[in-house]
Amino acid sequence: MIKGSIVAIVTPFDGGKPDKARFAELIEWHVQSGTHGIVPCGSTGEAATLDYEEHIQVIEWAVNAAKGRMKVIGGTGSNATAEAIELSRRAKDAGADALLLVSPYYNKPTQEGIYQHQMAIADAVQIPQILYNVPGRTSSSILPETVARLAKHPNIIGIKEASGSVELSIDILAVCPKEFLLYSGDDFINYPLLAIGSTGSISVTGNVLPEKMAKMHNLFFEGKLKESLALHYEMREMSKAMFIETNPVPAKTALAMMGKIKEGARLPLVGMAPATRQKLETALKSYKLI
């Protein structure tokens, strides 16, 4: 079981190219902070602007840096089924423990189209696969009945639910087998989803507060619910700061301010506006991160 605090890790750049050395340092920091797993090449990892070889390279770097000390879940989703299958095969060959597969974006398939897309990948690549529902980015939602159909496939082990709806998460758990895993994809409701039966979170906030995020999950699983909830509330303002502009720009800017990476995202993402940058800096100072 892949459980706990899983961080949707950023991809550092240097001179416009993925920065292997800083990436390895980030991963080592996460290992030492107790992070349970990472997702390279997700939305936060700017997968949409990585070319094909960079995409696989970043997953390989993650596997090599993690050295089996935490799980690596490669983001290999695409709105082209054939591309998703090929990326998934390459990520498996690179040593990923599992895959995260975003629902097809832009082309807005029907529920049957989403089902057939995910089933084609699951049939083609023998590796644990986690669905990813993020309607704010894909313009469509994987409905609970579609998730239930997909959950019957032995390679599809769970879903990252990033709609922001606790009710939808409850509906998914209600219709899926008890062994099917639910991961929070929205930091604002990480604890509420743990309370209804989630396995953990795939987090943006964990990029800058890895130790607190890991501890919050550990406390919950140890049955220390009040302490866990207190940490969830403690991280709330940082979670807000992570989304004052489009993810992952605030996370990458924060890590640069903390001296962890060089600042910079790929177009069409740009640097933060002065007003929001100031708000982010204030948040980081309040958490004593800078």
CATH code for the domain in which residue 109 is found = 3.20.20.70
49 within domain boundaries: yes
Q: How many domains does the chain have?
A: 1
Residue 107 lies in a domain: yes
Angle, vertex CA 39, rays to CA 203 and CA 28, nearest 5: 90
Q: What's the DSSP call for residue 142?
A: -
Q: Is residue 101 part of a domain?
A: yes
Full residue range of the structural domain in which residue 154 is found: 4-234
Beta carbons within 10 angstroms of residue 278's beta carbon? 11
pTM: 0.96
**What is the token pair recorded at 9?**
């890790």
- Token digits of residue 160: 């990252």
Does 286 have pLDDT greater than 80?
yes
Residue 4 pLDDT level (bands cut at 50, 70, 90): very high
* Rounded mean pLDDT, 113-125: 98
Catalytic: which of 105, 115, 132, 183?
132
Q: Does residue 173 fall inside a structural domain? A: yes
* Active site annotation includes 115: no
Largest CA distance in the chain: 49
- Beta strand 17-18 with 37-38 is unpaired
Mean pLDDT over all residues of the chain? 97
Phi and psi dihedrals of 45, rounded to 5? -85, 10
Active site residue 160: yes
Is residue 1 scored above 90 in pLDDT? no
Q: Does some domain include residue 252?
A: no
Q: Are strands 17-18 and 98-102 parallel, antiparallel or unpaired?
A: unpaired
Residue 246 domain-assigned (yes or no): no
Which of 71, 160, 215, 260 is the catalytic position?
160
Q: Is residue 282 part of a domain?
A: no
Residue 214 falls inside a structural domain: yes
Mean pLDDT over 67-79 rounds to 97
